[in-house]
Structure 1
């Protein structure tokens, strides 16, 4: 029987607003990030989407977002953390390299600078989300993570490799027999 994963990116943070690289470091949600998370929570309620279990990255911006979206008790997992960008953390996004077109990501660019390899991020996310979905009692799951980590998961499972993952976007996947299948993305209208 197919299960459903709602994989959400955290709300806008101060670093997002300032266009700074944030991965392993953390930055608080802005007022917009707080408001958008509340709106997404209401949108999901309006769509009658209910979660039996919820999970978040151990980073505050993700757990704060989850708490604004739902009151379902949740577990924080390191496997849902953002990509570690090493010494680039907190620096301007203008310093990001051009993505490796073949890999669809930054590949191993950040490794010499104390960061993670893209494939390691992808394996970590895939292992964590698979373990979540394999739990017998988990049927309809909310997991709050981060843009880079979600992008690497999308590269593994979605046919649409270039999905836009805005703050508070929710990507819906079905899960059956070890396979995640991308369904659609739930986003708020910017005018909401």
Structure 2
């Protein structure tokens, strides 16, 4: 694959902070989430040479778009240039969307024993469906060779898994950071950690 891809997860959302599942539903970024997006954008600005050679693609879900807009602000890119792409959306988590994770654990105490526990949700989108979405995106010649992608935790893990030909278990052993992002280039994945200043709430 000849593309160079910076892969980002959206910043912390209200639902993330509340331990609620989002999937295809949405909640806004928290102050910390906005700060995470801003910090990653500032880090990206140091990694990217000629910003005019890069395109920005985002999941159409609000939390990803909000992150993309903050990143673009840091990069000096007009947010009108963000391309939304359905293939970058999070897994649809079926009947568990908006549910509180602690409530789900009460119903099934062993739920979190498996890293792919999210996919136990009734009517959840299948792993194969998301793999196919990502494969289609990576093979799409209409997507520029240098692209910044703003996606989600689980879809981002699958994206990295597809790119590096990981097994199912390897894919779900990855972490889902909101204070780091990844460069996918030359068949390698590099993690770039960002130190995010703690946001004080008054």
CA distance in 1, matches of 2:8, 2:19: 20
Instruction: Answer yes or no: is the 8 Å Cα contact 2:58–2:149 preserved in 1.
Output: yes
* Change in 2 beyond 3 A, CA 1:5/1:99: farther
In structure 2, what is the equivalent of residue 188 of structure 1?
194
CA-to-partner distance for each residue in 1:59-86, whole Å, 9 max, x for gaps?
Answer: 0100110111122511111111000111
1:116 and 2:118 correspond: no
Give 3-state SS (helix, strand or coil) of 1:171's partner.
strand
Do structure 1's residue 89 and structure 2's residue 100 form an aligned pair?
A: no
* Pick aligned residue for 1:78 from 76, 81, 86: 86
Alignment of 1:33-112 (within 5 A): 33-49=33-49, 50=51, 52-70=54-72, 71-72=77-78, 73-94=81-102, 95=104, 97-98=111-112, 105-106=116-117, 109-110=120-121
* TM superposition score normalised by structure 1: 0.81
Identify the range of structure 1 (20-29 vs 42-51) with the bigger mean alpha-carbon deviation: 42-51
User: Structure 2 matches for 1:5-16, cutoff 5 A?
Assistant: 5-16=5-16
Aligned in 2, Cα 1:92/1:186: closer, same or farther, shift over 3 Å?
same
Would you tell me which structure has more helix in proportion to its own residues?
2
SS in structure 2 at match of 1:173: strand
Structure with higher strand content: 1
TM-score by length of 2: 0.77
Partner in structure 2 of residue 169 of structure 1: 180
Structure 2 residue runs without a partner (length 5+)? 106-110
Report the CA distance between 1:108 and its aligned residue: 5.5
Q: How far off is 1:153 after superposition?
A: 2.2
The structure number with the bigger radius of gyration is 2
Query: In structure 1, the residue corresponding to 2:24 is in which secondary structure?
Result: coil
Aligned residues: 179
Q: Which runs of 5+ in 1 are unaligned?
A: 176-180
Q: 2 CA distance for matches of 1:107 and 1:22? A: 11
Asked whether the 8 Å contact 1:4–1:140 carries over to 2, the reply is yes
